[in-house]
Structure 1
Amino acid sequence: MKDLQKIYIRNQILTMPMKVNQELTYKNRKFNKRSDYDNIIKYVDNFIAGENLNRFLVLPGLRDVGKTTILYQVYEYLLVEKKINPQNILYFSCDRLKRTGNADIFDVVNYYCESFHNSLIETLSSPVFILIDEAQYDKEWALNGKLIFDGTKNIFMILSGSSALKLSSNPDAARRLLNIPIYPLSYSEHLKLKYENFKNDISLSIIQMIFNGETQDSAEIERRMINIYSNFQNFNVSEWKNYLLFGGFPSSFYQNTNEITKKIVDMVEKVVTTDMNNIEGIANGTQDLAFQILNYFAFQNPGEVSIGSLSNQFDAKKPLVTKVLDILEKTQLIFHIEAFTSSVKRTTKPHEYFFATPSLKHNLALDVGNAILEDETAYFGKLLESYVASSFHDLDNKSTISYKTYYDDSKKKSSDKNVDFIVQRGLEKPIPIEVSCGDKDKSQIKRAIRKYHSTHGIIISNTHPNIVKEDNIISIPPEIFAFM
């Protein structure tokens, strides 16, 4: 290691106990914690108790979703609540490390063990905690993590990185690491961080209602939600609307709308120009295509998008369009859903694409021009549809049960209308989902229920202020669904 890097690591050891409180406070108010933190702390506690299987955690996610804050909060937990000696906790950023030379995680940890524990990695005798931010700046992060993991059972590592391209799946470390993706904030997580930490004890009840079709708990769900809101001080009655437009990222709490738009647009630009640049074969022309596709999705209504149509739209070869879409998905800016049909036919059908959070769609459109070029109700309906898609997408990724989301491809004639989504839990009957702001014609959801032999269907709409079940159709207000 270079001398400047050694100085940086020594300073981190000495200054972090004082620095961490400043980093977790804004205007004398301590940051609340998201549910991902609680999940990570379980593995920390297990390691402290002697369990050494899950001691290599990787947190991939978009820039600005709060990964660094989680690492600081873990540091504070170890220092304050678990009374761990500061010399047994090392936090550093590979981004900062690279400014002083090559970013090499193994070299840093090896130097740390020698200088602060008079030991090699392999002979380390006491438990230590290594918290590494921006890990993608070490191009060999996976191999280095594997070597450290295999070298000792006394190191607990958490690596975070803005580039899911480098952190998602790597054969060198795949069998050893535990991948915990950090997604943009859901609405309930947004409320938890902005107003008051609370336990979302209605999420499971909403999920059960959607997939089981039973509404006997609806009054209790509504009562609990009102109770959550009643504990908030200075609550903004337009919070749900503001969340759809500008939420998803913790930094939005402390900025005005113009600043939020600039920060989101800057973040997207960094993902395309920096994170995508880490992938071999991504040239400037390819980055331009990525921007064009993202802006196209920002203005487009939700719907099927074929590779051929994008190829023609931007005069780009189909393999390049396919490659760019794949990389944009790996960065977690966008995701796709497939048609609800047989596995063989599904491979030939176009995909529908959605942003990871509605505010990405809105603010990219806002940056190019006036985002709302149509009826405001219809516009918010599109943002709501994006939120519903991302909610089911995240549910599938975070749950041990398979929750798959598809688009409806069943209409046979032009007069027919498809529902927005088909969701399926495991091998259960599919559930048709319709999304809207304002009144909604029920003909398409009734047709989908018959088509797919579903027990019931779901309409997510503000038509009713409460959960209402009419025959086999359940209407759920968006703000209640948002607690799922």
Structure 2
Amino acid sequence: MDELEIRNSIINNINNSYPLINNNLKHDYKYLKERTIYFELKEYIDKFIDSCNPNRSFIIPGIRGVGKTTLLYQLYKYLYEIKNIQENRILFLDLNRLKHRPDFNLLDYLDVFIKDINEEHYLTSTQLFVLIDETQYAKNWDIAAKTMYDENSNVFIVFTGSNALNLESTADTLRRSIKKQMYPLTFSEYTELNYNINMPYKFTDIIYDVLQTGDVEELEKIEKQLHLNEYKVLKHNIKKEFEYYLEYGDLPVTILKNKIDSIQTTLEVSDKIVETDMDLISSIKSETRLKAYELISLLATEKPGEIALNKIANNIQTSTKTIENLLEILRKTELIFPIEIYGSPSKKSRTPTKYYFLSTQSKAAFFLSEGDLSRDTRQSLGILAENMVASTLHRIKETKKNKTGVYYDARRGGVDFIITTKNGNVVPIEVGIGKKNKKQIIQAINYYKSEYGIVISNRTDFITKEDNIIFIPLSTFSLA
């Protein structure tokens, strides 16, 4: 594309962005509520506007359906309506719409926006804002990010996209940018978005401290306050609301949909990952793609267990090498993530890995549409609860920069998870639906010489501590 075509395209984009964004943010004449990450970026924007803060380049990866596009819409609305930034100084680019244009080059677009359309602002260092969605469709996006940062101290830029692209492309880009991963909704975010319940607590930090120390005093106080005040506005009792959240509630893309539409949309998100994102990581043949659908369905509808590659290969009639490659690609898309066995490096190399879904709702969609376990409410809820706890532990580990190790216990009759704290302590964790006896957790505490163990279940409505065993309600743990 020549410069004139790019200029006309950008001008058309600028003229149409606000009406499009404003319309997409409304539902029943009300605006969609913001997630925590919105307020974090809003604070960076405020500091940039006030003092040209050097923190002005952000990378926001996340699985499909997690709300990245809505986040950019809300930031645009904030800039235009609240901070009174003129439309021509804000560029919103959806690269999914531009990917088929001949010779599309992201850096060319940014140069025209900054140095041509905003030439006066460029020369006077007036602040400009660039919001780029679906970054995975731009080749050499990281070069554009590096160039923008190095050459334009007056430009605030946000890139969002699937991790299929590997948004950690170069060390240079990472040094210049702040990465903020978007995860599926926690239960606290879910209740905020659906019921306008104000959750002023940093639940991730609070649950993290419980895992690390076994001290439940602060969480007990907050939990009581929630039940006394905030949870009164829920349409159902807390356990019923939590069960709905497990099956339909952790992906923002379905937050305004009914159950049937929610299942369909969730399955479509998984299909899009297979049809589009996997190819951005590694080109795969059509017959291999069909095996990916079968593999995802198998992982979703069975109880999490050690992955025996040869068994799965036999079930879906392919090679173990193909299964191994597909699991790695799906891991990079963030649809699934691995948890290794607790033990020595040699033991880990000899023992299969367990795989869980980052979004429990994604797993539930297969249960509800085709899985036999959907007929057994208690069993299916138990499996979904285990997936939710695994996903929460994984997110806490990633958020806290690996200060917490997360593993599974491969001993016969072992607990569901083992975590290692930053001080090297071993904490066994058992998950379940319904009344559970203390036999497994007591055995694990004794076997690993742990100071305490944790049972996460719906056995209790409030946190309780019996000797060295901490009982945490599933709904409370899912707030993190």
Query: Into which bin does the TM-score normalised by the smaller protein fall?
Result: over 0.9
List aligned pairs for 1:264-413, cutoff 5 A. 264-373=266-375, 375-400=376-401, 402-409=403-410, 411=411
Instruction: Establish whether residue 66 from structure 1 lines up as the match of residue 62 from structure 2.
Output: no
Deviation by residue 1:172-194 (Cα, 9 ceiling, x = unmatched): 62332322221111111111111
| SS at 1:361 equivalent | helix
Instruction: Give the gaps of 5 or more residues in structure 1.
Output: none
| SS at 2:91 equivalent | strand
Q: CA contact under 8 A between 1:460 and 1:475: conserved in structure 2?
A: yes
Q: Give the letter for the 1:388 counterpart.
A: V
| SS at 1:336 equivalent | strand
Q: Give the letter for the 1:186 counterpart.
A: T
Q: For residue 466 of structure 2, what is the aligned residue in structure 1?
A: 470
Q: Give the letter for the 2:10 counterpart.
A: I
Instruction: Establish whether residue 148 from structure 1 lines up as the match of residue 148 from structure 2.
Output: yes
Q: Give the letter for the 2:283 counterpart.
A: G
Instruction: Establish whether residue 85 from structure 1 lines up as the match of residue 86 from structure 2.
Output: yes
- Deviation, 1:13, is 1.6
Q: Give the letter for the 1:366 counterpart.
A: L
Q: CA contact under 8 A between 1:467 and 1:474: conserved in structure 2?
A: yes
- Deviation, 1:8, is 3.2
Change (3 A) 1:349 1:46: farther
Distance 2:401 2:209 in 1: 15
Instruction: Establish whether residue 10 from structure 1 lines up as the match of residue 11 from structure 2.
Output: yes
Deviation by residue 1:19-48 (Cα, 9 ceiling, x = unmatched): 433222211112111111122223323322
Distance 1:216 1:482 in 2: 18
Q: For residue 159 of structure 1, what is the aligned residue in structure 2?
A: 159
- Deviation, 1:159, is 0.8
Structure 2 residue aligned with 1:432, among 414, 423, 428?
A: 428
Distance 2:118 2:202 in 1: 47
Q: Give the letter for the 2:399 counterpart.
A: K
- Deviation, 1:278, is 2.1
Instruction: Establish whether residue 192 from structure 1 lines up as the match of residue 188 from structure 2.
Output: no
- Deviation, 1:438, is 0.8
Q: CA contact under 8 A between 1:124 and 1:154: conserved in structure 2?
A: no
Q: Give the letter for the 2:211 counterpart.
A: I
Distance 1:164 1:101 in 2: 23
Q: Give the letter for the 1:76 counterpart.
A: K
Deviation by residue 1:206-253 (Cα, 9 ceiling, x = unmatched): 332333222334541222222453463645753211111112112322
Change (3 A) 1:43 1:197: farther
Q: For residue 106 of structure 1, what is the aligned residue in structure 2?
A: 107
Structure 2 residue aligned with 1:260, among 259, 262, 280?
A: 262
Distance 1:390 1:85 in 2: 41
Distance 2:282 2:474 in 1: 42
Change (3 A) 1:483 1:295: same
| SS at 2:465 equivalent | strand
Change (3 A) 1:472 1:294: same
Distance 1:231 1:10 in 2: 49
- Deviation, 1:140, is 1.8
Q: Give the letter for the 2:148 counterpart.
A: I
Change (3 A) 1:279 1:209: closer
List aligned pairs for 1:98-247, cutoff 5 A. 98-118=99-119, 125-171=125-171, 173-196=173-196, 198-201=198-201, 203=203, 204-217=205-218, 219-227=220-228, 229-230=230-231, 232=233, 234=235, 238-247=240-249
Q: CA contact under 8 A between 1:134 and 1:161: conserved in structure 2?
A: yes
Change (3 A) 1:239 1:483: same
Distance 1:225 1:369 in 2: 35
Change (3 A) 1:174 1:210: closer
Change (3 A) 1:283 1:388: same
Q: Give the letter for the 1:150 counterpart.
A: D
Q: CA contact under 8 A between 1:75 and 1:89: conserved in structure 2?
A: yes
Q: Give the letter for the 2:332 counterpart.
A: K
Deviation by residue 1:268-302 (Cα, 9 ceiling, x = unmatched): 11111111122343221221221111111111111
- Deviation, 1:480, is 1.3
**TM-score calculated relative to the size of structure 1:** 0.92
Distance 2:318 2:40 in 1: 43
| SS at 2:51 equivalent | coil
Distance 1:276 1:420 in 2: 30
Q: CA contact under 8 A between 2:60 and 2:161: conserved in structure 1?
A: yes
Q: Give the letter for the 1:128 counterpart.
A: L
Change (3 A) 1:201 1:75: same
Distance 2:146 2:197 in 1: 36
- Deviation, 1:468, is 1.5
Q: Give the letter for the 1:387 counterpart.
A: M
Q: CA contact under 8 A between 1:110 and 1:120: conserved in structure 2?
A: no
Deviates more, 1:390-399 or 1:35-44: 35-44
Deviates more, 1:66-75 or 1:251-260: 251-260
Distance 2:32 2:377 in 1: 34
| SS at 1:304 equivalent | coil
- Deviation, 1:164, is 3.2
| SS at 1:439 equivalent | coil
Q: Give the letter for the 2:81 counterpart.
A: V
Distance 2:195 2:299 in 1: 32
Distance 2:310 2:17 in 1: 52
Instruction: Give the gaps of 5 or more residues in structure 2.
Output: none
Deviation by residue 1:72-97 (Cα, 9 ceiling, x = unmatched): 11112222232222222111111112
Deviates more, 1:265-274 or 1:123-132: 123-132
Q: CA contact under 8 A between 1:464 and 1:475: conserved in structure 2?
A: yes
